[in-house]
Amino acid sequence: MDEWTSIYIYLGLVTAVTLAVALLSGLFPSIKDSFTKFLPYESGIQTATNLLKERFQLRHYLIGLIFLVFDVEVIFLYPWAAVAKQIGPFAFYEMLFFLVALLIGFGYVWKKGGLEWE
């Protein structure tokens, strides 16, 4: 057997199950329209059912983007910390430069009030 045969079988099964679920959900759609269906799942905030007619404030998106930027920092720090002694001083200064750039960005966001929730 070829070394890729198991991967082809897996992809075939995934495709078959995905198509079967999509076909079955198209044949038997959910037609339940109740008030509880439109309630938020975990937030605990009671919202109206006309969410698509209203726009979210830009602050929600900005907080999400700021979180992503500083969360990606952690993704780069973990592998670097695991091999920091092996890769030498050049990598230390590269990471120092990276952290300084992030701190400058953090200071800018803080100065502009991006972390304040009103």
Number of helices and strands in the chain (H, E): 4, 0
> What per-residue confidence (pLDDT) applies to 49?
53
Whether residue 94 is contained in a domain is answered as yes
Q: Which residue has the higher pLDDT, 68 or 49?
A: 68
| Residue pair 66/109 in contact by the 8 Å Cβ criterion | yes
Model confidence pLDDT, tens digit, residues 68-98: 888 888 788 888 888 888 888 888 898 889 8
Whether residue 88 is contained in a domain is answered as yes
Whether residue 117 is contained in a domain is answered as no
What is the gyration radius of the CA atoms in the chain, in angstroms?
A: 24
Give the pTM: 0.47
**For residue 17, what is the domain's CATH number?**
1.20.58
Whether residue 29 is contained in a domain is answered as yes
- For the chain, how many structural domains are there in total? 1
Whether residue 95 is contained in a domain is answered as yes
Q: How far apart are CA 35 and CA 114, in angstroms?
A: 35
| Residue pair 39/46 in contact by the 8 Å Cβ criterion | yes
Domain that holds residue 19: 5-112
